[in-house]
Amino acid sequence: MNHRLLSLDVLRGITIVGMIIVNNGVGERCFVPLEHAAWNGLTPTDLVFPFFLFMVGVSIALSLGKYSPAASQPLAKGPAVRKVLVRSVKLFLIGLLLTFSGPLLRGKPIPEILEGLRIWGVLQRIALCYLFAALISLYVRPRHLWRVIAALLIAYTVFLLLGNGYAADETNLACRIDRALVGPSHVYAHSPVDPEGLAGTLSAIAHTLIGVVVGFMLKAKAPLPDRLVRLFSLATALSLGGYLLSYGLPINKTIWSPSYTLLTSGIATALLAWLTVLTDLRGWAAWCRPFQWFGMNAIALFVGSGLLARIFIPLHIPGTLYNAYLSTGMTEEWASLAYALTFLAIITALAYGLYRKQIFLKL
pLDDT classification of 305: cutoffs 50, 70, 90: very high
- The predicted structure's pLDDT at residue 289: 92
Beta strands in the chain (DSSP E): none
- Buried b / exposed e along 234-247 (16+ C-beta atoms within 10 A): bbeebbebbeebbe
Integer Cα distance of 85 and 159 in angstroms: 27
Q: Which of 67-81, 202-216, 243-257 has the lowest mean pLDDT?
A: 67-81
How many H helices and E strands in the chain?
A: 14, 0
Integer Cα distance of 344 and 21 in angstroms: 7
Q: Is the pTM of this model over 0.75?
A: yes
C-beta atoms surrounding 121 within 10 Å: 20
- The predicted structure's pLDDT at residue 72: 60
**pLDDT tens digit sequence for 129-182:** 999 999 999 999 988 999 999 999 999 999 999 999 999 999 999 999 999 999
- The predicted structure's pLDDT at residue 78: 86
The gap from C-alpha 279 to its chain's centroid, in whole angstroms, comes to 23
CA-based end-to-end distance of the chain? 24
- The predicted structure's pLDDT at residue 2: 46
What is the secondary structure of 205-251 as a DSSP string?
Answer: HHHHHHHHHHHHHHHSSS-HHHHHHHHHHHHHHHHHHHHHHTTTS--
- The predicted structure's pLDDT at residue 79: 87
Helices (H), the chain: 6-23, 48-64, 78-105, 110-115, 122-139, 145-162, 173-182, 201-219, 224-245, 258-275, 289-295, 298-312, 317-327, 332-356
Integer Cα distance of 244 and 235 in angstroms: 14
